[in-house]
Amino acid sequence: MDLFLTLCLILIVPLTIAQPSPGYWPSSKFKTIDFNQGYRTLWGPQHQKLEQNSLTIWLDRNSGSGFKSNSAFRSGYFGAAMKLHPGYTAGVITSFYLSNNEEHPGNHDEVDIEFLGTTPGKPYTLQTNVYVRGSGDGQRLIGREVKFNLWFDPTANYHYYAILWSPNDIIFFVDDIPIRRYRRKIDSTFPIRPMWVYGSIWDASSWATEDGKYKADYSYQPFIGRYNSFKLSGCTENAPASCRPVSGSPYPSGGLSTQQNIAMQWAQKYQVYDYCKDYKRDHSQTPECYAN
């Protein structure tokens, strides 16, 4: 009888797989800075509030809001804890990213962590993206999107999101677990020009939620993004040539450890889109998809 009950419980109760340890926690290796030490308001100042180094930004029908690092970097580790708005958020983007769009409009580099708004009952999608010199074919932006539905509710608590950008890798982290590694396989497909660090919340109704099927509904306003635990460490644009890129692994030379790679393989079970596996894409513009 006991065996029968045990078998029933196994069938009824789904097995849960514990989040693996990455064995190394980059967020603990870099100093947390005051927001005003590293950043400034870029737009929508009336839609920002800073209290005890926690920044709240929001979007309503009048405006969104954004912030920008005081310095440009040529490599580094950039992170923040974020908590997202619950409920109906279709069309709303909450982001943390690197870019040089203001310096190179139409021909810019960008590395994105973007939360695509959603509708109740459906998960938030975390989109990671890389742009290299903007318009890859001279006519349209060529993105390198990889999307995830995470293993937790990003509206319930703060979670830590970070980008490690080195001369050879871009690694995206969620709670210190690497979820994506974008390697420098071909020089022309890797960003090398200095970039600033940004965060923002804005209306992207034309594409953000199920390719624009669901739009921002301002009867649910304001839409709020919360940030704290800012980390900003690396080689600034004007740092001497002797400045060494920081690492996101136990190895000073960078890359990932064996345990980090195992954790990344686990996280990639939550991947829901990979541009290299999209047969509808013109991969002549993304040759790194075929490079070893």
Catalytically annotated residues: 110, 114
Q: Rounded to 10 degrees, what is the CA torsion of 61, 58, 108, 31? A: 180
Cβ atoms of 106 and 125 closer than 8 Å: no
Q: Measured in whole angstroms, how far is the alpha carbon of residue 152 from the centre of its chain?
A: 15
- How big is the chain by its Cα radius of gyration, in Å? 20
- CA distance linking residue 198 with residue 27, whole number of Å: 18
SS3 176: coil
Sequence letter at residue 223? F
* DSSP 8-state symbol, 42: E
Cβ atoms of 107 and 101 closer than 8 Å: no
What would the two tokens of residue 250 be? 């136990």
